[in-house]
């Protein structure tokens, strides 16, 4: 069996093991160790395994992971999510479908502090869905809006997926954060437009009975109350994003400043007790350890693929076949979308990027743009059956037997279609991703 065949078999085996339920880190390490053993020797495989454990995360840049994780957890355990939703609901109260648009807006603001879609889905399932249902929205539409808009957490910086991509692709995390701002805002605007159009022209999909407008306690909020509710989260966003873009902090330093600021805000609001602090610290440790273990496994996996020569062979074949970049790109996006139906975001990124990056790099692609369209495509997978992780998170937090997971997928479909169209716009107009970096690049 040739080295290239061994590499291909290892890739397929990793997919099978992960889909069967094995932890992704264990699966990648096991397959990679066996692959290097088959290509080289057991001694080489052992040395690479030891090297991946001792050197793969031996850099201060990885300090950004636990810092942003703990910042997001501090934000999640406070009432900032509910306050943001209340203000957004007041501002959009006179719009058709206003509470749906408010949910998208609140998710967008909340995403600038948490960096993860799962936190957004968990919080706004409890905050927004009951309010939307009480104001006459259909339950499938309400959970669909929460599920769909939760993906903004991975596109609007800071983003955990951006950090992982930056590490794997050796690309500036700060550039990825900056580039994600405009696409994130435009995607949130696209979701809001979708909700408004559906409310206007297909109200039967949105409202129960004749309900057409949002009304209630959101009418009586004063400007001072709105300012008080938004002040903490605005301070946090200003410290983190303002510090990065103003050149005061590196992403790692911004994570530390943000985590400390979130802690102080929680203490000032009397929402962080010793028990909450211990729970957040413990959860942050668990998440960080899991991510670092995945990165160790990813390095060994990448080295196995390099030894096999599979990425180089595929790159050579693509060049000799004369396939255009457009064909290769859409083939890659199709594969990512397909994997998104079965695997979670991190699994897809860790499995496919070490293989694809050497191939894509041969086309002279801007990796910041490539990272953003990769993240958008992966996030679409969070909304699609049968896995659709965001849908399952919403279902778990909702705890309502009246709605099935399939109904959540159907309620999310308008958001999924909107996101797919937005992906095409981002692919064909790279300047959307690069304009804030002051760069000009195009593949066509």
Q: What confidence score (pLDDT) does residue 111 get?
A: 76
The closest alpha carbon to 144, from 412, 438, 370, belongs to 412
pLDDT averaged over every residue in the chain: 82
Q: Which one, of 337, 418, 346, lies nearest residue 381 by Cα?
A: 337
Domain presence at residue 444: no
443 falls within a domain: no
> Is it the case that residue 212 has pLDDT exceeding 50?
no
Query: pLDDT band at residue 278, thresholds of 50, 70 and 90?
Result: very high
Domain that residue 29 falls in? 3-437
CA distance 392 to 383: 10
pLDDT tens sequence across 294-331: 778 877 887 888 888 877 777 777 667 777 888 888 98
Q: What is the residue-wise DSSP string for 130-180? A: HHHHHTTB-HHHHHHHHHHHTTHHHHSSS-HHHHHHHHHHT--HHHHHHHH
Q: How far apart are CA 78 and CA 61, in angstroms?
A: 28
Average of per-residue pLDDT across 279-290: 86
**Within a domain: 62:** yes
List own/partner pairs for 253-256 with CB under 8 A and 24 or more apart. Answer: 254/158, 255/63, 255/64, 255/67, 255/68, 255/71, 255/158, 256/63, 256/67
Cα 38 from Cα 231, distance rounded (Å): 58
User: Does 110 fall in a domain?
Assistant: yes
Which two three-digit tokens encode residue 405?
């997971």
Residue 379 belongs to a domain: yes
Dihedral angle over CA of 148, 151, 157, 159, nearest 10: 170
User: For position 419, what pLDDT does the model report?
Assistant: 93
Q: Of 123-137, 165-179, 403-417, give the lowest mean pLDDT range.
A: 123-137
For residue 130, give both structure tokens. 């009951």
Name the least confident of 117-126, 149-158, 180-189, 259-268.
117-126
Which pLDDT score is estimated for 427? 92
> Residue 251's pLDDT is what?
78
Domain annotation covers residue 69 = yes
The answer as to whether 107 is a domain residue is yes
Give the residue from 202, 160, 149 showing the smallest Cα distance to 71. Answer: 160
Q: What is the mean pLDDT of residues 16-43?
A: 84
Q: At residue 167, does pLDDT exceed 90?
A: no
Average pLDDT over every residue of 324-341:
85
Work out how many domains the chain is built from and give that number. Answer: 1
The pLDDT assigned to 218 comes to: 52
**pLDDT recorded at residue 158:** 80
């Amino acid at each position: 069996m040739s080295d290239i065949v061994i590499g291909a078999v290892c890739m397929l085996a990793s997919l099978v093991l992960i889909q069967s339920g094995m932890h992704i880190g264990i699966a990648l390490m096991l397959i990679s160790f066996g692959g290097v053993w088959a290509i080289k020797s057991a001694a080489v495989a052992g040395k690479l395994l030891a090297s991946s454990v001792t050197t793969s995360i031996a850099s201060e840049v990885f300090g950004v992971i636990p810092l942003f994780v703990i910042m997001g957890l501090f934000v999640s355990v406070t009432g900032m999510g509910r306050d943001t939703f209340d203000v957004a609901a007041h501002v959009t109260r006179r719009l058709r479908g206003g509470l749906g648009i408010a949910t998208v807006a609140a998710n967008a603001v909340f995403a600038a502090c948490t960096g993860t879609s799962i936190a957004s889905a968990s919080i706004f399932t409890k905050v927004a869905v009951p309010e939307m249902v009480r104001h006459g929205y259909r339950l499938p539409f309400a959970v669909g809006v929460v599920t769909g808009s939760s993906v903004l957490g991975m596109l609007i910086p800071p983003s955990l997926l951006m950090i992982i991509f930056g590490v794997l692709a050796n690309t500036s995390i700060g550039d990825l954060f900056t580039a994600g701002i405009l696409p994130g805002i435009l995607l949130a605007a696209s979701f809001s437009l979708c909700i408004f159009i559906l409310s206007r022209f297909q109200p039967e999909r949105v409202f129960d009975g004749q309900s057409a407008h949002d009304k209630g306690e959101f009418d009586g909020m004063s400007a001072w109350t709105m300012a008080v509710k938004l002040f903490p989260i605005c301070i946090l966003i200003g410290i983190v994003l303002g510090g990065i873009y103003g050149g005061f902090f590196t992403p790692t330093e911004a994570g530390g400043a943000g985590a400390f600021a979130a802690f102080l805000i929680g203490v000032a609001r009397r929402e962080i007790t010793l028990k909450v602090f211990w729970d957040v610290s413990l959860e942050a440790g668990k998440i960080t350890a899991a991510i670092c273990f995945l990165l160790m496994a990813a390095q060994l996996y990448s080295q196995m693929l390099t030894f096999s020569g599979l990425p180089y062979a595929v790159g050579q074949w693509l060049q000799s076949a004369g396939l255009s970049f457009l064909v290769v790109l859409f083939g890659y996006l199709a594969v990512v979308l397909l994997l998104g139906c079965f695997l979670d975001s991190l699994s897809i990124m860790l499995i496919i990027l070490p293989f694809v990056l050497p191939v894509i790099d041969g086309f002279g692609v801007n990796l910041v743009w490539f990272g953003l369209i990769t993240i958008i495509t992966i996030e679409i997978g969070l909304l699609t059956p049968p896995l659709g992780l965001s849908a399952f998170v919403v279902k778990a937090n909702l705890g309502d037997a009246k709605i099935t997971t399939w109904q959540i997928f159907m309620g999310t479909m308008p958001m999924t279609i909107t996101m797919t169209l937005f992906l095409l716009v981002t692919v064909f107009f790279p300047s959307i991703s690069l304009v804030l970096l002051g760069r000009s690049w195009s593949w066509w």
